Structure 1
Amino acid sequence: MAEGVLFNIAQGIIGSLGPLAMKEIKLLWGVKDELEKLKDTVSIINDVLLDAEEQQVKRHAVRNWLKKLEDAMYEADNLLDDFSTEALLREMMTRDKKAKEVRIFFSKSNQLFYALKMGHKIKAIRERLDSINATAKDFNLKLGHEEIPIQNKKRDDSYSFVHPEGVIGREDAKKEVIERLMESNVEENVLILPIVGIGGLGKTALAQLIFNDEEIKKHFELKMWVCVSNNFDVQIIVEKILRSAKNEKLEQVELDMLINALRNEIDGKKYLLVLDDVWNEDPKEWFDLKELLMGGARGSRILVTTRSEKVANITCTIKQYLLRGLDEHASWSLFKQMAFEKGQESKNPRIVEIGNEIVKKCVGVPLAIRTMGSLLYFKNSETEWLSFKNNELSKIFQRENDILPILKLSYDQLPSHLKHCFAYCSLFPKDYKIDKSTLIKLWMAQGFIKLSDQNRCLEDVGHEYFMDLLWRSFFQEAEMNKFGDIIGCKIHDLIHDLAISVAGSLITTLDDNETNIDEKTRQVSVACHISSSSSQVLTLWYKATRMRTFLHLGVYFEANIDCDATFSSSKFLRVLDLHEIQTLQNLSSIGKLKHLRYIDFSGNYKIEKLPDSITRLIAERH
């Protein structure tokens, strides 16, 4: 989970070493200077992280540098969490009535020992980070504090004509959108209709199909097409609109002159404007542009294509059009065109059967269907098709010019804290119904949710994170309660593939297909049936000593767990979900897990009473 994660961790470290935190740990004499030095080092590294995370895709050396940095950053984060826990423990003990224990705990020898021990650790990690940072100059990384959205694919202002026969399965969509655009029983002169859907569904292709329709050509006096992408600058967009209207390149002039030229061009005319690939979610910037476009004659329309439901909600003046995947028939028709010579279905029924299974994987996304079909076009035998389905299909989305890089454009637009939250969702298996409340609690336990306003609570901010990912189409099939509140969701299979790709080896779901775990893995979930005769999961648990999450996802777990042994090897755990486990031995050792924030022992029928040691988990919240 490299991309965006280190930036988020660095921001958290810098925040935890702010003035208030420094004041709180001033009692730990001898460490304040080292903490200041650590903060300076992390701040310097933070300045180049965004550029490094972008360059790692193409530069192997940068990727290796980030891996070394990742380990050191996590270690620094764990160390600072020790400080937070220590501060909470002191606060708790000062409120405790056991005065003798408090005096012993705060004795000079005790404080001196702790300060010396932590001082050495801080110095060691700071020197390690300094050493890693010293090599950053070799990569000529750019400085910059602001997160700049990564645009993996540049879009040209122009658009290609879409032949009707080139778009399969969108006849009904085209008809419905055209009917909405030509609706006459409305009061406003200019209406705005967004087409919204995940990347690869063909929103732009549909818009082009509509734009070039003969009925549309006759209906509108003026038609304009602008590709907006991530650079939402009013002046640039106005220039593009004028360029499309006049079909000529404009000289660079001031915004006031451009506005006058725009009004001269569109005011009083019934126009159609397509704003393709809109990402901007700032309502003020949108309204600034919208104000300039309201002078069109009655019947003028603006068609917006976007991957973000939030953008659609901001821009629309009539109900948005949600573009869905192709149906089974249309999906197969498109696949046949791409996978078979001259679009003629294979005479081998087994190849047809395999092809249908592959098409189902594409869940109606035209770009995915086209990509897979193109690859299979060069495979002739049944053996090759079967090998592709069984071996290459799971890796297909990691290749250049495939659907995953296209979907990844949506991921690249996320701020770092949402990248962290989204990648974490790869812990859940495909088609898993995610409970919103639980997910937010898990994010909180990992420290992903940051408060910019101390008057707000983490749960409310977590709700905003969740809704932001839902609006951006990373979540789907939102489930509502009887009050209309969203309580859960699922993740589209292709989006889940994206989450796994960006998470890398730091997050692992143990299921029937995944049986190995990297020793550096930080987050683990179990989604398979483990018998009492199998010690595989427990062996893997001992291996992942840096694990922060162990999440059991409801499949009955028959293995007996010796908590003393497992907890000793997982001292950095923040989330521990052991619900529906048959037997937990030596549970009293849970007091060792001082970083733990979230615990779930529900459904453990053999646990009559939680051990007293659980009261030592002072960081525990849920």
Structure 2
Amino acid sequence: MRSKVEEMDGRLQELITRKDSLSLRANNEKRSAYCILDKPLPTTHLPEPCFISREDEKMEILRLLTGEEDDEKCVDLKVIPIVGMADVGKTALAQQVYNDARVTSYFDMKAWACVSDYFDVLAITKSILETTNNHLSCEGKDLNWLQDKLKENLSGKKFLVVLDDVWNEKYGYWTILLKPFQLVGKGSKVIITIRNLHAASIAGAPPITLKELSLDPCVNLFAFHALGVENFDHHPKLEVIGQKIVEKCKGLPLAVKTLAGLLRTEVCPYKWEATLNSKIWDLPEERNEILPALKLSYLHLSSNLRRCFAYRAIFPKDYEIERDELIHWWIAEGLLEGKGQNRWDVGLNYFNELVSRSLFQKSSSGGSRFLMHDLVNDLAKLVAGAICFSSGEFEFEGDQNNASSAHYASFISSNHILPERFKIYHGMKGIRSFISLVKQSRHYYRSFLSQKVLCDLLSGLKYLRVLSLSHYGIHEVPDCIGKLRHLRYLICRINASKVTRYIVQPRGFEVAGLSRSYQIT
């Protein structure tokens, strides 16, 4: 018994050492356990010094706020959700509307409350009350007292309240917060800024959805924060590099401002080039606002959703993926709970949840194809770490040292598949997904893969669960695939006598040469 206790004590000491090395800390509340330094700064109602574009959205919100005809018909409090992904400019737009002279003259009273990730009804109520009556002391007061006083202050008055950065998805919390607003004057409004489309639905109103900014406004914004002017007229040598840095931000104002802030009053082209070539996680931690804002969306996911999100890191930037195909891979990898059709429903719900949070975006090509914003793709790669490998990201960078740790890998096809291009995959002994991808262009010609090259590759990959060869042409299913005992999903294209067939989803199937059965369709 003593030896067992000593062994257990040793294991506990090892866990404590690992905990300290990872900077983990105790989390006694049901909140995301992340460093306080990762939290974005609280916001105020004061507007941005440089606000560019969004005129259409601003005018639409102003119409909803000050529309007299709508107010005469509306009995209940009207809520206006502003929805969009992290960093897209929801708060900046709300600030512009809040400070507009037409809004100030229309409402009897205004209040701004920064909610952030924890929906504390008492703190939010206190913040609104102190704004509407700055002579009132609220220290030590409970929610009953605060709501009674707020109800008195707002009764019969036409007011505007902005709740910035709302994450709450519980309808009960929302109704408790709005209790003091029941006897408000006609025309009272609440604006909420929120990332999650599902969470916005609790407001019971159609949202104003913000998309990324176009290139020209972003260039002007970048010039303002980097050089103090709204164009590059006096710095022509920096204009080309500046535009490339802006393109890297993919229309997110906070990313533009952060990168511009790193170059504030800096006119050395070498420094600008270094910023252009850096990854977001390589930027100075104390000056990087991009990752904390994006990471908050990730931290609000459940553990299973986080794994499904990280799996997407095997795809290169701008790569469009079919929804149903990705769900099949999640199922095969055991990332989804349930059995049979229920797992498919769970996967569909997970996918829709990631879309509603703007972590996946619908492709402009239509159908069921989706992609990731480039900075969200960077976040996925950061949280996935070395377990995901994409030839499209590392093939020409020489950064392949951690490839042996990969669990999931993708390979971008070319017209000619040489054995040397598969060399790095031979060292991935623990790989569970191998997925062929194709450069998405109009002039793509299907690659042909010899049996020898394929069998040489698969001979060392004994733990594969997902094998996608859909972008290769092969003449027959090789016997070596039958030795993959953990395989759950196989898709490949067989070319013989001009007949093309697909082998897909597992479930009681039969194919010659395989130890288990697969369906041919």
Whether TM-score is above 0.5 comes out as: yes
How many equivalent residue pairs?
Answer: 488
Are 1:188 and 2:70 an aligned pair?
no
The structural deviation recorded for 1:552 is 0.3
Corresponding residue for residue 427 of structure 2 = 543
| 2:472 counterpart (581, 602, 611) | 581
Q: Is the 8 A contact 2:455 2:480 kept in 1?
A: yes
Q: Which amino acid aligns with 2:15?
A: N
Identity, in percent, stands at 31
Aligned residue identity for 1:560: S
State which drifts further: 579-588 or 436-445. Answer: 579-588
Question: Aligned to 1:170, which of 32, 42, 54?
Answer: 54
How far apart are residue 398 of structure 1 and its match? 7.6
Match of 1:457 among 315, 319, 342: 342
Measure, in 2, the Cα distance between the counterparts of 1:568 and 1:145: 48
Q: What amino acid is the match of 1:565?
A: D
Aligned pair 1:568/2:449, yes or no? no
219 and 381 in structure 1: CA distance in 2 versus 1, 3 angstrom threshold: same
The letter of the residue matching 2:491 is D
Relative distance call for 1:238 and 1:522 in structure 2 (3 A) is same
Structure 1 pair 207/195, CA: closer, same or farther in 2 (3 Å)?
A: same
Q: Is the 2:483–2:514 Cα contact (8 Å) retained in structure 1?
A: no
Change (3 A) 1:134 1:575: same
From 290, 296, 299, the counterpart of 1:412? 299
> What is residue 514 of structure 2 aligned with on the other side?
614
How many Å apart are 1:366 and its aligned residue? 1.2
CA deviation vs aligned residue, 1:275-304 (integer Å, no higher than 9, x gap): 110001122322333344232111000000
Give the stretch that moved more between structures: 602-611 or 227-236.
602-611
Distance 2:153 2:204 in 1: 23
Question: What secondary structure, in the 3-state scheme, does the structure 2 residue paired with 1:185 have?
Answer: helix
SS of the equivalent of 2:257 reads helix
Match of 2:405 in 1: 520
Partner of 1:133: 15
After superposition, the C-alpha distances for 1:440-460 in whole angstroms (9 at most, x for unaligned) are 111111111123xx7971011
Partner of 2:332: 445
Which of residues 36, 40, 44 is equivalent to 1:159?
A: 44
1:509 matched to 2:396: no
**Could you tell me which residue of structure 2 aligns to residue 476 of structure 1?**
361
Quick one: distance in 1 between partners of 2:56 and 2:238? 30
Q: Deviations over 1:167-191 (max 9, x none)?
A: 1223333222111111222322310
Q: Hey, what's the Cα distance between the residues in 2 that align with 1:530 and 1:399?
A: 42
Asked if the contact 1:580–1:603 (Cα under 8 Å) also holds between the matched residues in 2, the reply is no
Take 1:455 and 1:285, find their aligned partners in 2: how far apart are those partners? 35
Matches within 5 A, 1:317-328: 317=205, 319-328=206-215
Are the counterparts in 2 of residues 155 and 227 from structure 1 also a CA contact under 8 Å? no
State the 1:525 CA deviation. 0.6
Could you tell me which residue of structure 2 aligns to residue 429 of structure 1?
316
The amino acid of 1:612's aligned partner reads A
CA spacing shift, 1:347–1:228, aligned 2, 3 Å:
closer
Instruction: State the secondary structure of the residue aligned to 1:489.
Output: strand
Q: Could you tell me how far apart the structure 1 residues matched to 2:177 and 2:340 are?
A: 34
Residues 437 and 471 of structure 2 are in contact (CA less than 8 Å); yes or no, is this contact kept in structure 1? no
Among 357, 362, 371, which residue is 2:258 paired with?
371
In 2, distance between residues paired with 1:397 and 1:493?
16
C-alpha deviation, 1:577, in angstroms = 0.5
Q: Is the 8 A contact 2:313 2:377 kept in 1?
A: yes
Q: Once the two structures are superposed, what CA deviation does each residue of 1:301-331 show, in whole Å capped at 9, x if it has no partner?
A: 00000111112222242x2111222233221
The answer to whether structure 1 residue 338 and structure 2 residue 221 are counterparts is no
Q: Does 1:596 align with 2:487?
A: yes
Deviation at 1:568, TM superposition (A): 2.9
Q: Describe the SS at the equivalent of 2:104.
A: helix
Q: Aligned runs of 1:45-64 on 2, under 5 Å?
A: none
- 2:111 corresponds in structure 1 to 224
Q: Which range moves more in the overlay, 550-559 or 567-576?
A: 550-559
**Is residue 477–residue 494 contact of structure 2 (8 Å, CA) maintained in 1?**
no
- Using a 3 Å threshold, how does the CA distance of structure 1 residues 287 and 613 change in structure 2: closer, same or farther? farther
Contact 1:220 1:270 in 2 (8 A): yes
Q: Which moves more between the two structures, 336-345 or 271-280?
A: 336-345
Could you list the per-position Cα deviations for residues 335-372 of structure 1 after superposition, in whole angstroms to 9, with x for gaps in the alignment?
11123355552556453222222212222211111122
Task: Name the amino acid aligned to 2:188.
Answer: S
Deviation of residue 387 (structure 1)?
Answer: 4.8
| Distance in 2, Cα, partners of 1:381 & 1:156 | 30
- What's 2:278 paired with? 392
Shift in Å, 1:251: 2.7
1:113 paired residue number? none
The two structures, once aligned, show a CA RMSD in angstroms of: 3.4
Deviation at 1:149, TM superposition (A): 5.6
- Cα distance between partner residues in 2 of 1:225 and 1:592: 63
User: C-alpha separation between the residues in 1 aligned to 2:204 and 2:50?
Assistant: 28
Higher helix share: 1
CA drift of 1:597 comes to 1.1
**Cα separation, 2, equivalents of 1:270 and 1:155:** 32
How far apart are residue 411 of structure 1 and its match?
1.3
- Which letter maps to 2:299? D
Flag structure 1 segments of 5+ consecutive residues without an equivalent.
Answer: 1-36, 38-122
Partners of 1:367 and 1:182 lie apart in 2 by: 29
SS at match of 1:576: strand
In the TM superposition, what is the alpha-carbon distance from 1:374 to its structure 2 partner? 2.5
Partners of 1:354 and 1:604 lie apart in 2 by 47
Shift in CA distance, 616/280, structure 1 to aligned 2, threshold 3 Å: same
CA deviation after TM superposition for structure 1 residue 127, in Å:
12
Residues 301 and 394 of structure 1: is their aligned pair in 2 closer, same or farther, counting only changes over 3 Å? Answer: closer
In 2: Cα distance, 1:155 partner to 1:250 partner: 26
Question: Are 1:594 and 1:617, in contact at CA under 8 Å, matched by a contact in 2?
Answer: no
SS at 1:166's partner residue?
Answer: coil
Distance 1:134 1:304 in 2: 42
Q: CA–CA distance in 1 between the matches of 2:512 and 2:10?
A: 39
Structure 1 pair 402–252 and aligned structure 2 pair: CA distance change class (3 A) = closer
Counterpart mapping for 1:214-363 below 5 A: 214-247=101-134, 248-317=136-205, 319-340=206-227, 342-343=229-230, 345=232, 349-363=236-250
Partner deviation per Cα, 1:397-442 (whole Å, 9 max, x = no partner): 6844242332112112111111111111122222222211111111
Partner of 1:497: 378
Secondary structure at the aligned position of 2:294 is classed as helix
Q: Secondary structure at the match of 2:404?
A: coil
Q: Conserved in 2, the CA contact under 8 Å of 1:560 and 1:585?
A: no
Distance 1:553 1:218, change over 3 A: same
The gaps in structure 2 that reach 5 residues or longer are 440-445, 504-509
C-alpha contact (below 8 Å) 1:571/1:593 kept by paired residues: yes
Q: Which has the higher contact order (CA 8 A, sep 6+)?
A: 1
Shift of 1:144: 5.8
8 Å CA contact retained: 1:510, 1:528: no
Measured against aligned partners, the alpha-carbon deviations of 1:241-271 in whole angstroms (never above 9, x if no partner) come to 2122222540323333332222112222111
